[in-house]
Structures are given as structure tokens and as C-alpha cells.
Structure 1
């Protein structure tokens, strides 16, 4: 079983790493601060965010950390300890969609572009990143990178950005600058979640409610199983699902699929001729209803009862939205056979991670069964860790 622990981001250690990549020979870079933003896992509510629906993410203890300082020469210098190669230098005045070098630097560069497009006076900066958020695992490593960049620049340039607005600017960076048609959930979770809670988010009006989620006190555990099958949101399949949802809303004459009542789903489906669009609509409407059911169960202290709802969500993502893969299905099937209370894929799909709700007493059995099943199927060994609801983005020093 692989484990991704949170790194001890001590300011002194961060400075030592920062000092190793001074921009020019003999020049000392003075760090003005250290910031951190987490990845997230989504408990329930998948692909509903770009349909104006409901989601329930919480922040993970895994973070992307940025050590940053301002520059007065209009240069944005980006460096990652986790990516081979040296620093990348860009001029902030030249930033524009489809003009960046591509790769990971488009995410922070897109944030700078988005801030400036919104009228915020952001100049150059040195930004050095390190991360414990698994990439390609459906745990929002890109959103963590975006949010930590926005928070650092907000503080450095005294922008005073409100967290919800920050999330919207980061989402715009990913949609327009990077070209990935994602919703608002990931950035909002990274920016706004609180420790010990799951975030109920209405993605239409961005209203939020923090719902206590203390599984340990109940003898429960939520596992994240990273299948190590990487996905890419900006590729075609994600965009096709979004376009299909928009087509369904247009055919039904509603602004978004969030406006189709669960009670009227049967009648709505009868009005759709395209079977693929019909399946997408069915998933979104039933998934919004699953979010409402999970909220009701958590508020009634019936936490164990959310397990079957999670499993229903996986079946819908597998059969109607068609974004699962053999590895994700294997996690879910194996976990349930080993005694888990519920399981489902989480994130954008086509790879990434699954979540598994277990009694703590059965966690070792479930974990061993999943690892064994992957070995028997000839897959890479999955990375498994406990998902602990953690704090959103913050300044470390």
C-alpha cells in the first residue's frame, strides 16, 4: 500500500529549497512568504458542477506549497521541485491563452493572466512550488496549483481577494487559458474548505454550507484509492460529456440540468430522442438527488447509510456517464466484496481515484483485498490512503 503523507512545510526548510534556484548566479532571492493549498476529494456530486448543480467535496491534507516574492521587472519565474528541468520565465504582459509554453506552467501563468484580465494590478513574481498532491489522480492537483498561486499573489500585491471570487478567477484560468472545460468545484474546495467538514456547494449561486464530517469518531474511515491510471481533462471525452449535458438542457428548455426536478425525470427523459444525451441527463439529475440524500443522512447522523448512495453514484457514472475504467470498477467491486459500506469513483473519470467507506475494523481487509486484486489483474499497485477532511488554502509563513 502506497501512502502520500503531508510534508512538514517548515518555513526554514522551504527557504533552503528556494535558495537553491536563485534567478542569476550570485543573486540572493528573498522569500516574502510561503503559502499552501490542498487537493480535494469529492464525496458525492460528480460532473454536476458545470450543470449548476450540487457537490460535496472536502480538502485533503495533501498540499501544493508556493514560496514566493515579487519582481519589479515584469517577469513571472516559475519553478517546481517536482518537475525535471529548470525554471521557466515568462513576461506577464505577454500572457495570453494559447500562447504559453504548455505543460504545468500554464496553470499558474493562467492565474496571473486571469487576475490581470479582471483588473487586478499584478506584476512579476518568483514562484517556487512543491507538492504532495498526486497528479493525474482526480484529486485536483491543478486546482491546488492555481489556488496557491492566486492566494500568494493576492497577499503579495495586497489584492484582498475574497475566497469565492478567487475560485472563480482560478476556474477561468483553467477554462480559458489552459483550455480544460472544468466546473467551479475544485477551486472552491481548495480555497474554502474547513477542517473536519465536508463542503456543500451550490454551484449556481456559490452558496456554501460546512457540514461536520468526523468519521473517526464513529469508527469509520474513508479511503482514497489512486489507481495510477492518469487522465487528461482537456482531452476530448470530458468536453463531449459537457456538450451532451448542454444539449440535453437545451432540448428540455431549461437553463441547466440542475433545473430538471428529480420527480419529473421520467417525463423529461421521454422527451429526449438521443440515447446518449438521455443517459447523461439521467446521471446529472439523479446525482443531484444523491447529494441531497447524503446531506439529509449526515444531518440525521446516519453516516453509515451514505455507503449505498456512494455505490449508486458509481453505477451511474459507469453506466450512464460512461467515464469509469476497469481499474476503478475493480476497486469498487473488490471493496464491496471485502465488506466496505460503499465505494465509487471520484473526480473527472477515465482513470484517477475511487473512494471507499469502511468500518475502521475492516480497513486492513479491504485494503489487502484491493491490492491483491490489482496484482492478480496485472495492474500497477494502487496508492491507498485515508482521506482526512482538512483545511483550505492558507498562508504558512
Structure 2
């Protein structure tokens, strides 16, 4: 019986990493698809690695990307030559690869239309190029083209070569794999920041600059919400206080976390890592390790309760700001996941942004379970 298996290995070079992967995965009982995440120092060797693993394992299709941190069930690695792999039992007709889509998904949607209609395909695991300014709009266009399709995944993270993998090294836009409706996929998202204060409304702003909130200078509202101690020394808010943009229509109070990238004390302006417009709601948030841990646990417990059967394989895409930077150095984030999931084959990486449904998040963890 074909089944899931996983490997998270380190080595001296790409050849030893490949040998370690092949020693740990069950190629004889594998299907036609595997997910692979590579440390950034292996980016230039991506094609060699995929060719070697394909030839030696017999697994035809490989999907993934490069990450500055990799993870598996109970383990995280950073700054080491490594690979994290999830082998699936899926046959070729269970999925369709998504080549890099940089602007319009129309050509790919047309090429897969007959199969999509027959298989009721609607869930895709995708990986993105951090240099693409079109990613937020592209996620919406692909989801709409899939008639409300659900996308999960992350943005490649690397200092030099943020390679994506779709049977070979690729770049640009989004790439990944779309699953047939016959594949049972469940996913959950966990926030890494806790909300502070109340919701407000942006009155004036342009591009990424917020000028006024609730009829007051934006900076004045910000100071009121963060408290007197931080307001006296705004240098302390970097990496601790963030902007939260509530998602309209969300029945779970979901929000997008964006970086606070600039403050103008003379004009009372705030600059954030997203575009704004008058009428948008805004709230503020702080990084909170305890809240992040509690939220991750609640998300996984709720996800497991919804499953029709126990999970057989998993993918985890988490933010670079999480992991060792928020949960601790000893793989604490993935150890918690392992405690809750049990011994489930899992692969994943630490991303430059996380994808859930048709939105690009930050400081979140996205868990995808196959059952």
C-alpha cells in the first residue's frame, strides 16, 4: 500500500543530503509526488538534487522551494545544509503541477480545465517569489479562477536565490500543485501576534502612509494604544509592535499582520508594509510568545476534531519571525506540533510570508493535513 513518508536530513553537500533523504523515505511505496524544501545554500544545486532524487527514488514530480529555515515533525534547522521532504502516495491523476504563474493564470486554467471539472479540484499548495509585487493580486486571481479555490503555502526565503521547485528550479510569481477533490485536505492558520486596543478607521492615507485615524494624527492614536511607556521611546516598538488589518467579512476575527516600517513624529505619520486607503479598518498588535503558543495549540486541536480520519501526512509553512525567534531555540514550535499530531510524516519551511485561502499573511503558521 502506498503511503506517506518524510525525511529531514543535514549533510556536508548536496550529494550527502540526497543520500540521507533516499535512505529515509519509502520510495518503493511512494506515489508520483513529493514535496521538498532545501536550505538556501543548496539553491544553486536544486536541479542536480531533483534529478538525483527522481532517478534514485522513482518519484516523478517534486514541488517545493528554498527556505532559510526548514522543519519536520519535532525538528527545526537553521543555517545548516539540509532538506526536508514529504513523500506522498498520490497518483498522477490526483494532481496537476502549477508552473510559475507571474501575471495571469488564464493559460494554466485553460490547460487544466477539463481535468479540474472532472476531478472537482479546488485546493492547491503553492510557493511564491518574494520579489514579485503581484503576489497578493495573483493569489486572488488564481483562487477566483478555481471558483473559490483554497491556496496554502509560503513565499521562498533566501538572501540570494529564492528558488521555487516545480519539477525543476523555477522562479517568478507562484508555482505549486493543485489537488483533485478525491484528496482529503484540511488546513488551519495560527496567528503569532495578539491584538491590542480597539479597531479604528483610517481617514486619510496614500500608498503605505497613514496620515490620520479617527480624525486624529495617526501617530497620536498609535501612542494611545501602545501605552505611555512605549510611547515615550518609540525606538522600542520595532519588531514588537505591528499593524493588524482586520479582514472584512471574517467570522473568526481574522487579520493580516503588517510591519510598522516608519514613523514621522513631526507630521504624525505612520508607514506600514502594505497599501492603505481611507475607510480601511486598522488595529495594532504585539508579538506575544505565550499567545502564539496557545493559538497554535487551539488551531491544531480544532483542526484534528474536524478531520474525517486521522492525518497521514502534513505540511507546515511558518514565518521566519516565528520558530526560534518566538518559540525558543530548541525546536519548540515543531515539538508542540509533534506532541499534538503524534508521529505524522511532516515537511515544511520558514517563509517570507504565508499563504492561506487567497491572502498573504505574516507572522503566522499554516498547517496542512492529508487524511
TM-score normalized by structure 2? Answer: 0.31
TM-score (structure 1 length as normaliser)? 0.29
Question: Which protein is richer in strand relative to its size?
Answer: 2
Higher helix proportion (structure 1 or 2): 1
